Amino acid sequence: MKDYSEVFGFDELKEHIHKIILSGQIAHAALLVGDEGSGKRTIAKRFARTLLCETVEKKLEEKTAKPEDIEPCDQCHSCLQAISGNNPDIIIIDRLEGQRSISVDEIREKLIDDISVKPYASKYKVYIVVGAEHMTVEAQNAILKTLEEPPEYAVIFLLTNTEKLILPTVISRCEVINIPAMPDEMVEQYFETHFGDDPDVTQEDIRFAEAFADGKIGRGSITFTNPDFKKLKKDALEVLVNIEDLTLNELMGYVRKADYYSELGIDYFFDIMLLWYRDLLLFESTRDANGLLFKEYLKEISRQAQTLSYEGIDNITTAINNARERLHANVSFDLVMELLFLTISDNMKG
């Protein structure tokens, strides 16, 4: 995924970060909580870049800095290294290729043992654990002591989609920062600025991205930047548009493929389905094509709206959410999806 060097929006959070750095009262361990694509990584990386920036450091030493001066200069050696992902004092810890979890061995090597080595060039050394919820219980237990008494120069960021999978003993040792969802207008403004000039990007694409983003820029951005997502969206729409005519076997073929795209493939598939049924509901109540996300499928939307009652759409939406929960609870993929398609088909007859 694209790395956004600038934290867009989040003015209060930025101000908070500036004040923290200016005061020198830097928390040594923070837990950043926010949905997938909400900007946790961008915020942690920017904080790291600011903390390590040579220009910021000079201003702090001269004691002339004001909160608005605490911005990474993006020109000093440290900033340039950070931007290219090669700053030795910023350590990113993520699941190893092909691994479902972050093991205790990985955490020992990259964090617990490494942290006793002083920073190379800066006053600080920043550790960013991406997907902290993937740390095994053993790994989480192993970092407790480090979180409790980190060296003066160390700052540890744990990033997570959900606090539920983080041990309470870990949470209690961290400053917890919740990343808020961003208002739709700001999300739209961001997509306009960053993708609006692309001749291949239509107003519909921007509207779809804004709806898909659900207040999270990173999430909406993949609709422009990730080629797999475009394939996934195409497949999902083929399913949704032709759902009355496809056999169960054909439907299963599409969704089995969807799961290959990425770990989030089927989740994204569900999200696109929910937007489709949102369109159906909107059309059913307004009979107006203007607010639709999938305006190019107006014919199909109006046809399906005729066979579906409000209650039917509601049942389908509930069934999609249930299917998602069941998959997360490791119920058999085929079983969950077959049940979902049967529910949709039942309601379309009604």
CB nearer to Zn ion: pick between 56 and 293: 56
Residue whose tokens read 């088909």: 345
Size of the site for Zn ion (CB under 5 A): 5
Q: Smallest distance, Å, CB 65 to Zn ion? A: 13
- 8 Å CB contact between 36 and 212: no
Q: Smallest distance, Å, CB 74 to Zn ion? A: 6
73 binds Zn ion (CB under 5 A): yes
CB atoms within 10 A of CB 252: 16
Three-state DSSP at 99 gives: coil
Q: Smallest distance, Å, CB 344 to Zn ion? A: 54
Q: Smallest distance, Å, CB 60 to Zn ion? A: 12
CB nearer to Zn ion: pick between 64 and 306: 64
CB nearer to Zn ion: pick between 73 and 92: 73
103 binds Zn ion (CB under 5 A): no
**Alpha carbons 21 and 209: distance in angstroms, whole number:** 34
Helix axes 333-349, 298-307, angle to 10 degrees: 80
Q: Which one, of 32, 38, 33, lies nearest residue 7 by Cα? A: 38
Alpha-carbon dihedral of residues 347, 348, 349, 350, nearest 10 degrees?
50
**Phi-psi region for residue 131, left (φ > 0), alpha (ψ -120 to 50) or beta?**
left
- 8 Å CB contact between 41 and 128: yes
- 8 Å CB contact between 29 and 151: no
Q: Smallest distance, Å, CB 54 to Zn ion? A: 5
Question: Quick one: which segment of 74-82, 120-128, 216-224, 303-311 binds Zn ion (CB under 5 A)?
Answer: 74-82
CB nearer to Zn ion: pick between 53 and 139: 53
79 binds Zn ion (CB under 5 A): yes
Site string for Zn ion, 33-72 (x = CB under 5 A): --------------------x-x-----------------
**Binds Zn ion by CB under 5 A, chosen from 20, 30, 76, 132:** 76
| Joined tokens for residue 5 | 């060097």
Q: Smallest distance, Å, CB 80 to Zn ion? A: 8
Per CB under 5 A, residues contacting Zn ion are: 53, 55, 73, 76, 79
